[in-house]
Structure 1
Amino acid sequence: MTTNTDVPSPLQEPAIAEILASDSALDLLLARLKHSVKACDEFANYLKRKQNYEENYARDVKRAVTSCKSSIKSNTSISKGSFVESLDKIISFDDRILVDVRSPYSKALEKMQDELTSVSATFVRLRKQLKEEGHKREKEVQDAINQAEKSKNRYYSLCNDLERLRQSDQSQKKITLQGRKTGSQQEEELVRKINAADQDYNAKANASQKLKNELVNTHRPRISKKLQDLILELDTALQLQLQKYAAYNESFVVGLGNQVAPLGANHSSMATVAASVNPEQNLYNYLKGSRVEKKHYFVPVEYKKHPLFKSEPPAQFRVPATPSVSNNVSKLDPPLATTNNSVSQPVGSPSFMPVPEPPISSPVNYSTLDPTRSPALSVSPSPAGLAGPRPISTEMRNNSSSITNPTTPAYSGLLFGQPIESLPHDEEMVPLFVKKCINLIETYGSNSEGIYRSSPNKLKLEEIKYAIDQDPSDLSILDPPDPSNVSDDYVYMIASLLKVFFAELPDPLLTKEQSGNFFKAGQIEDAATMHIQLHRIVFELPDANYFTLRDLLFHFIHLSQIPRVRMSVKNLSIVWFNNLLVNEYTTRDELAVQQRVVEELINAAPEIFNPKED
């Protein structure tokens, strides 16, 4: 079978050849090459973003896999045929997918992106060279034509002067700097000038024609050919990259399928593992392998008559064979236990039995709070009328009965002062407490002037702080008692709680490790350069810090755009910088640098985090 190689290229059509020979050829080809370069850049940018998404996904899944498998091994006894065994194997599928499928796919995307970036830079440079050369050649022709046009105009002007002179009165004399000249003398001088102008006109016209012929016959075809070759070469390269991308995606999907339902015998399929659970057999194995103990406190007391008494006791003192409930009340009732609240209740009684509330009238001890990290706590209580927090539940007091005064902060809670990554959080590791506070402030604080700058009632603040610190999972404690009538003091209390939370973190949100880098960035005078440096530093923060900082900064931006709140970006940075950064800098200039860091983080947040995509 033969292949017809004589099929003409569509680019060889006469109409195309006419376009390439026209004066518009250079501009058309340069614009077309620019479109291909832009497409290359867009493709590279897409691959970079997708590769970042793959890396973030792999990192998050890896953490989830590690956490779940560690929890399974430490808290559960894995036995054959159990749900826990199948769960462990199912989770291992994700681990293998990350190593065998997603990691190679991510590296392939990264390599493609590097190749496309390099190709784009090369073709941008080549296009610039041809553009400069083409414009230079065209400008030479344009300049030559302009010179010839000027020479032509001068020649024709002198000829017109000669014609007018010949039609005028020849007896009149013309007064010049050299004296009076007759008509014949004037005509002789004009003829001499016309001859010189004619020679110049002829020379420049020929020169312009020569340059135009060189442009049309030599330079323009050569440059057009190079531009055509570059366009075809770049588009062919992009086509190959598209084919590679399609092949990588096919391999990715096939790899996922082979991991979940393998073709070979390297391991069982996910469906087989999920169906391998045998609850009855697993329970049988568990019970069969368990160690049975005989507990002495379940051995009944055998009645034995004291040797002192020889005869049978009266019938009313005999222990019946099957004791009734009424005869054993004293045995079933356990002894009373005294709690730390000085209230007697039976041991093992339900936790919801009423217990007197601890007093809250004693003065508040603020010795454990840092006034420099939480300036909102140093202002006197606001006027009466506060829509205060919900009271502490009885159950929570029972669970924390060792603390007799909720207003005394000398206790170890579960929220304040704990590492941010260890707190209950959403899928992006943002603490649920932080999201709740931000939502409450933005919902009810649009008319509250000076949020984060005003202080609430100290006693109520410590009461609600104590309550949420004992049970961070019950965020309803923070809700206003009457959502239809929320006071400013309630908003200030939630805002102060949020500030205290960040102030008491063992490692600040912007971390001790990055403290020096943030300080150096804050000393950069140019704001654009500083934003680039802050972007790099923020990217290095741990996940919990990174995403929490994102939500907090966009919260600040939201507040700064509400006129009634009267909190500008600068105001917010002044109030907050001590709660987000380490307190190792003390001079006025150093504190000003830290304040500027927070201010510029707020300004640069849309550049750093891309809120629309998130």
Structure 2
Amino acid sequence: MPLQFDEGVLRQLCDLDCALPLLTDRIKQSLASCRQVALFFKSRARVEESYARSLGEMGRDLMDNYSKGDGKAGSFLKAYQDTLRIHDSLAQQRLKFAQRLNEMGEELSHLAKEMEKTRKQHKDTGTRFERNLQDADLTMEKAKARFDTTVEELERILILKEGGNLKDAGMHNSPGGHGPEGNRKKLGKAIGKGAGLFKGKNPAQMQKQEDDVRQRMSHASDAFRRAVLDAQSVRQEYFNSQLPKILRLLKQCADEVDLGTQYHLSRYAYLYETMVLQEGTTLAPVEGLDATTLGLKAVAEQIDNRTDFKLYMQNFIVARGNVPRGPRREGLYEEGYLPPLPPHVLSSSQNYNNGNGNGAEDSSRSLKATFGVDLTDAMMRDGDEVPKILEVCTEAIESKGLTTMGIYRLSGTTSAVQKLKAAFDQDVDSVDLDEDAWADINVVSSTLKLWFRELPDPLFTYALYPQFMEAARTDNDRLRHIRLHEQVNELPDANYAALKYFMSHLHKIRAEEKTNQMSASNLSIVFGPTLFRQPPEGGGGEGMTMADLMSFQCKAVETILLKYEDIFI
């Protein structure tokens, strides 16, 4: 854009007798155009801001709805979240664009306001100088009229003094006359004045009258000469100095408005192009420039439906542990690993083997059974605050499986799990999980989950099940945390101690989620149906489907795990 002042145009303007109104009208047009462009920027900003905010709110609402629904997890969830994240990034870019458009609109409005004040100021200055010139011309015309009047009066006196005819005196074409009509008017006036001009006057009086007229004519001539000189001086100053200066200032004002409007239009084009290019690189990053981000297409292509389905099968098998299953292909116990006998059978066996050391030993072991024993009964029996099996299994998992991919989500071999269960039931103190037989850490985790499922009264007791479900249904995160905390405090001492110990363990598992992929959400899916079981009489789940119950069970476990430090520490 040319920024230098065009002196040639200024010289042309100075030669025009309509330069001042020409420039003021042109500036008015420029200001109107400037305001229109400012209005365009502000209107476009409102459209962009509304679109951006709607786009951002859409992403947040959809993510909330998805988290409350039964949508897929795994790679699909990550791709869906990345898709919404990309849209949120687009919304942020649009918001910045709208903000800059608003700023440009305000700048143009301010420019138009300032230039309007400048235009009025220079226009008033030019009008004032024009008025001064007109006043000088008017003064000169009045002085000329007074001079012409005294000249006519002196001519009549001289004509009458010489005895001339009054009509001849009136017919004299005076400098102030303009055509026959003017002569006729002056003729009547001259006759009227001449008729009584020297009536009854002697020559001395006539001479005195002549001298007075000559003196007045001399003063009128001097005044006329000064008025002409003043008018010429004002005219010369106006056309040679003031008018060029005013025209220059007005032309600069017009140029500033025009160039400012053009600059902001060019800036708008640049910002728009930049924003569109940014959106393009966000949707499809240029290879080699930003390897850390994925485009929309690449995000969709990363969905691995086959792996997602495998993970879903594994999670479904674990999470639906309390749902009736179909018949098994293999029996629960292989040959050589039979389940422990019930206590009443062992008692009979002891009586039968009275005097036999083996019978007494079997009875002792039955009293130390691990699986299927109520937590409060086990605490009173063993004197341990935390069940031994819980300590042994969690310590083994923390030492060998803390970073294992899918720990607790992947199941161990059924036969190995049953062998380890039998070993715990036989003598929990003699079980050594460092042996090669238990090298698969998933066998240990599956055994621990089985122990939780076989508790006669779940970790979250039947008695408190309705209250836990009611608290889990609370939408507000803070209020749900408080209500669940209250119910945790209502648990029996044995259940509370076991829960605190186990949540500390899961807190450590969750801390390694980048490696083991077991977030609080994934852990809650595993342990929600495991630590909660609906009471046999169905209390706390009226009107809800199995899917709803499972959802609230998982929500309760997830909230307690996320707020572990607040609740227990």
Q: Which category of TM-score, normalised to the shorter sequence, fits these structures?
A: 0.3 to 0.5
Asked which structure has the greater CA Rg, the reply is 2
Work out which structure has the larger RCO, using CA pairs closer than 8 Å and 6 or more positions apart in sequence: 2
| TM-score in terms of structure 2 length | 0.45
Q: Report which of the two has the higher share of helix.
A: 2
| TM-score in terms of structure 1 length | 0.42
